Structure 1
Amino acid sequence: MTVAIVGAGYAGMAAAAELAAAGRQVTVFEASRTLGGRARAVDLEGLTVDNGAHIFVGAYSETLRLMELVGAAPSRLLRRQPLRLEYPGELLITAPRLPAPLHLAWALLGARGLSWPEKFAAIRFMQGLKRRRFRLSQDLPVADYFRDTRQPERLVRYLWEPLCVAALNTPTARASMQVFANVLRDSLAADRGASDFLLPQVDFSRLFPEPAAAFVAARGGAVRRETRIGAIGRDAAGFRLDANGSMSGPFDQLVVAVAPQHLDKLVAGLPQMAASVGQVAGFAYEPIVSAYLAYPENVRLPCAMVGVAGGAAQWLFDRGLLYGQPGLISAVISAHGRHETLDHDALAAAIHGEIARVVPGLPAPRWSRIITEKRATFACTPGIARPPTVTPLAGLCLAGDYVAGDYPATLEGAARSGVAAARALLQAAD
């Protein structure tokens, strides 16, 4: 069986690795020279950075399994640390190395910066979801659920809202509580290691997509970079792809693993895909902004990852501690917000002021850069209809963080969708 995969992001490369491991001849087509899709390496001022910051957690079981499969050992490429949420001078929550659920109870009861009523409200929140088995009778916005469960404003501001926006990339006023509950079920409410933070120590292309490409090539497959697919067709012999203006194929099976906004053009000649295209057409999108500020090499954050509340940025990362790039501080801003009213210089200045609050005597940055992914993820709203992996067209599956599943648009969601597509094709061929 020959399989074509369109798109070499985390979903496409997850499908490629799973299929190659099963002995399938895989050809991956990628429009860019750099692998990783919306989680890829970029070059800035002679440094390799990422187009966006992503936080791994121990619950990312499929991503971690695939990394092991292709020889990208998580123990070498990811810095594991117990759950730690720190807003300097405001809040510190750390999870000890205790068995679940004691680790979470200890973390909440021992939190610095929360009153006892706020601590008990957090425990009550998690216990309530557990009693429901993390299933809501009807989905609703996260902010409404916070109100209905009487969560204190400070607890929402420093704990629940940052976790929700980081995971769903959607403001709590519009985010799906059911999807947020799924995330909490598999992270905070699972075994102790599931809530650990796994902080990447290499860029996102080298973390998984590049090792996966080498894995595919070693098994007789190929990754064709800088090869844009303009259209997909199908005849009696199989799937044929317009690759940079030349026809490629036929292929027995196909995985379409592109961003959802590119789906309609690719499958315009396949009427069986109309329902999937219609679902994607109803999506709204949320941005992710990443800022990089370069300081003298002696500038460091108090720890590798620091939270910011009520500012422009939401999280700050010390790339000196994580990537061996001393003096480089990155900031991430998820979803739509007030920051979109600022130009790049004003936004960089605002973030510099937020870094200065936790780094005394901070000098002016040597340079700053802002990277904006305007359609980084779909807006994960209540009851959103997402297209399924298996399509009405035999032999064609969809993969991507937007495909139907329990998870929001995260790297784990992308990896799971790629694995699901691969397994569906393998089963169909048996």
Structure 2
Amino acid sequence: MKKRLFFSLFLIPVLAAGLYVYKSYFARPYLTVMGYVRMADGLGRQTAELIAAFKEEMSIGFVPTHRTRKEDVPEGIWRILKNRKRPLGKVILFEDCLFFPGHLPYQKFKTPAASDQIRIAYSMFESTEIPPEWTLILNTYFDAVVVPDPFLIPVYKKCGVQIPIFMIPLALDLSGFLNRPLKERPNTPFTFANLSSCVDRKNQLTLLKAFARAFGNSEKVRLIIQARSTFNKLERKIAQEIEALGLTNVRFAVNPLTKEEYEKLFESIDCYVNLSKGEGFSIQPREAMALGIPAIVTDNTAQTTLCKSGLVTAVPAPYPESAFYDWGRTYGFSFGCSVDEAADALKKVYDNYSAYLQQGKAARQWVRQYEYSALKPLYLSLIKPKKVLLGKENRITEEYLMTTSFELLKKYQKIARSSIHK
């Protein structure tokens, strides 16, 4: 009897530990996040922060589509990122570019859409058309797609996407900016800045020309262009343009920054400028707004949302041009601005800076809607909705998910029943 009791006392914790290990490392999770982790990139950042946000509320697996980068990864999720033994979950949230030549991450699914699984792509593009390969992949492998800005819904529909299209903004970790004091006064010299990838779409060459036209080589003003990466030898073109314009008040560098370096650099900025020809969301102007730093942006694509706030300086961008991508293909149009109108915007902010600073408090309040704390209920309603309704539109609220797709409705109901039974 004593032996049996001893054996039972020994066996119970062993079984409990084994069950914990199985559930934590080998069992099918509720959610699989499929994507890449790169904290200096929009989608790469969201992958990590979504896992951090929901790891206490549901079981989560991770399938990498690129090499995972450890720099600045949130604490507490590294165990999830390293685990490669879990099967795909009941819900899959795909957070990567759907396709470009030589990179086919969707093939990790191995099969088209499955009856016991909901596959959701979080997707964005920066022009008026998506690649035709994306349309085929979405319609074949996914049950729904989520885009971060309203401008993308008609773009995806026009290109033939037949699955439900939802809209949830990109969730941002703005705590490092919101915890700092609002901008109160300009630096000396006054500093304009752009912190983007060095690609043609970001339009740094136009920014350089506009800056030169507005201020010349004035010692009272400087421009910082800090790029995290570069493509198609654009770095050389920018350096040559700086030399051709004879500018000694421009600082140009291409190297990725740590989160601490990035946030510290923002403190030295007086006005953030993004003259991009096309954006799928646009993160940095929102970070500037969180600090109360005036922002200048082109009024096109997803940046129209920023312009509608009335809290940024909008530069008209009425000039369509073929949207050329780094792999040598064009998809629809992006929209450029004139050097003169960009220069006028720079001068306007510089000459009336105290008036623009007064908008800082309102800008910070407006941008709070993009914080994780504000958007987490919508992402939760996407992944694990309280209620699913069949309706005339595809919409997500905190209380329900509405879809036009009867098939998607049935899948959510089936997964909800299987989760209850377990």
Determine which structure has more spread, i.e. the larger CA radius of gyration: 2
Q: TM-score range by the shorter chain?
A: under 0.3
- By percentage of residues, which structure has more strand? 1
Q: State TM-score, norm by structure 2.
A: 0.25
Between 1 and 2, higher relative CO (CA 8 Å, sep ≥ 6) is seen in 1
- By percentage of residues, which structure has more helix? 2
